[in-house]
Amino acid sequence: MIIYQEVYNGKGEDVMWYNESVFYQIYPFGFCGAPAENDGVLHNRIKKVVEWVSHIKEMGVNAVYFCPVFESDCHGYDTRDYTKIDCRLGSNSDFAEVCKSLHDAGVKVVLDGVFNHVGRGFWAFQDVLANRGSSAYKDWFHLDFGRDDQYNDGLWYEGWEGHYELVELNLHNPDVVRHLFDCIRGWVEEFDVDGLRLDVAYLLQEDFLRQLRSFTAALKEDFFLLGEMIHGDYTRIVNPNMLDSCTNYECFKGIFSSFNDRNMFEIAYSLNRQFGSEQWTLYKGLPLFNFVDNHDVTRIASNLKEPRNLSAALGLLFAMPGIPCIYYGSEWGAKGEKASGNDATLRPCFPSPVENEVTRLIASLARIKRENPALNYGGYQQLYLTNLQFAFLRECGGNRVVAAVNADGAPHVANVPMQSTLVNLHTGQRLSCSGKLEMAPHSATFYQQV
């Protein structure tokens, strides 16, 4: 049986670069060791990325997603100026050089688009504080001049989810949208960016997302739009008229939780629910953005109760439908636990990249993904499931790849509905499968059916 998963945007078998990509996420302020607060001092730190380009390429990465890089009050999600690289990172020309180095190496560049809110230092909000009701920008925000805020500004404004250091923008105002789109055009012209990850996309007005899709498609036909979704129906914003992809937090949780609870049924349930062969499944054909950690959550090496399952968790990340993303440092198993009120432990500065068995595994997984269309466009079919073992088939046309995951510390023999020759895609070894598939301890192994 051939299970073929068409690309949702109606282009069928047309290749979109993000479908075939392995992403690498960098949180620039942490990566570069920048001060936690804007000190106003211009310091070229962002060119450190250039020194890591060879490491990025050796892992098989072909797209980098940068968390915020523009002038901000503190952490980047509190923007002051969308047109200027934060002085703690360097100048616009410094960042342009970084983007050129990545592009010359065949690596796409995706920036964080923080459009729901800005920082209190945002130039238009500063004008409101200075000129109040006479400010030309008073309608750029949700204001009430009859109330006071916690800063004693003599006015009240809507803050993101109760965080009043983050001032919500009024995206219903055409002038705000025009300003944001002008900035995006500038990013394409100055840095040749290839896409955007939209912060708190779940809060952005759907009409704004439709406008953004039309605008960016006119700038670049293959411009990638990725949205941050924590829960809810992903198709509300991921569809042909809005975004290409969104963060798959359901499976993020499912991966580490399945290993920790010794319950592969959890991640299997999510994958069947999202991508199974039945007509009712939710996200068949959507290139969801998959990850095992990022700048907001505990790193996978700290999250797993059994450290020996790290390679299996990473293998599952690359095997499941969607776009895999590696968070900087996690490619060699760096640890970091989320602390209450402070994410600094998740966003450290590493002096240089580390090469070890984990980075070599990721390079191998990226190669396997690159060489097998089934892992980029293929459907999903569960083959075998126990509490500690899980196997499934990805298939696109004549390319058939079986992923076999064993979370146990002992070898296991799985009964699979398969009578054929398999090639171990890690080693090249051929073996005959007569309904039995051997699984090594704490492993995720990829086989091509021939």
Per-residue tens of pLDDT for the chain, all 450 residues? 223 344 433 334 457 999 999 999 999 999 999 999 999 999 999 999 999 999 999 999 999 999 999 999 999 999 999 999 999 999 999 999 999 999 999 999 999 999 999 999 999 999 999 999 999 999 999 999 999 999 999 999 999 999 999 999 999 999 999 999 999 999 999 999 999 999 999 999 999 999 999 999 999 999 999 999 999 999 999 999 999 999 999 999 999 999 999 999 999 999 999 999 899 999 999 999 999 999 999 999 999 999 999 999 999 999 999 999 999 999 999 999 999 888 999 999 999 999 999 999 999 999 999 999 999 999 999 999 999 999 999 999 999 999 999 999 999 999 999 999 999 999 999 999 999 999 999 999 999 999
- Give SS3 for 93: helix
In the chain, the N- to C-terminal Cα span, in Å, equals: 14
- Let me know if 181 is exposed, middle or buried by CB neighbors in 10 A (0-12, 13-18, 19+): middle
Q: Distance (Å, rounded) from C-alpha 169 to C-alpha 435? A: 58
Helix (H, G, I), strand (E, B) or coil at 109: strand
Distance from the Cα of residue 396 to its chain's centroid: 24
State how far the Cα of 371 lies from the Cα of 36, in Å rounded to an integer: 42
> Is there a contact between 321 and 285 (Cβ–Cβ < 8 Å)?
no
Tokens of 450: 């021939």
Query: Which residue in the block uniquely carries the two structure tokens 């008073």?
Result: 138
Q: Which domains does the chain have, with CATH numbers?
A: 17-376 (3.20.20.80), 380-449 (2.60.40.1180)
Backbone phi, psi, residue 377, to 5°: -130, -5
d(CA 437, CA 180): 54
Whole-angstrom CA distances from 418 to 16, 249, 368 are: 32, 32, 21
What is the pTM assigned to this prediction? 0.96
In the chain, how long is the greatest CA-to-CA distance? 79
Which residues are registered as beta bridge partners of 243? 238
**387: Cα separation from own chain's centroid:** 28
Calpha distance 226→243 (Å, rounded): 6
Give φ, ψ of 173 to 5 degrees: -85, 120
Tokens 């700038």 found at: 219
Q: Which residue has the tokens 């390429």?
A: 57
What are 349's two structure tokens? Answer: 């500065």
- Sort residue 172 into left (φ over 0), alpha (ψ -120 to 50) or beta: alpha
Tokens in use for 266? 């959890």
